[in-house]
Structure 1
């Protein structure tokens, strides 16, 4: 998983919660300068994808990187460089 212009990459990214498949075999590439949005109904896997990319969740299988950093190994470095505000945050 390399490439200087690729800022988000997933390969076969899958996340299960018990018997529930929240995310199944997601292959995705977002390049520097592109605008990308996660759109879909509740339960489509949007939040699961973002939380996995940020390293808050570990994938069941597959790989992902952000800014060239592995989301399993480099979570602190990713969180230093990427902002994330969850939609379900209550104050």
Structure 2
């Protein structure tokens, strides 16, 4: 449902540019610029509504890093096991 609202917001931005093109009696260069400006302003709003973009790795920060252990490891001096170390 959030993606629907995000696409709806983007459609409003594009629609505003197209409406401006029609109102300016068919100047298509100015209309393309208006569509671009409409997308420029509505894309961040749509991304915020859909939850796209934000800070990644929220689940990794909850469990203490990518390895699942605190940053110090289990024991003092342990090096974290990487995927390529296996």
Compute the TM-score of the two structures, normalised by the length of structure 1: 0.26
Relative contact order, CA 8 A, sep 6+: which one is greater? 1
Q: Give 1 or 2: higher strand fraction.
A: 1
Q: TM-score, normalised by structure 2?
A: 0.27
Determine which structure has more spread, i.e. the larger CA radius of gyration.
Answer: 2
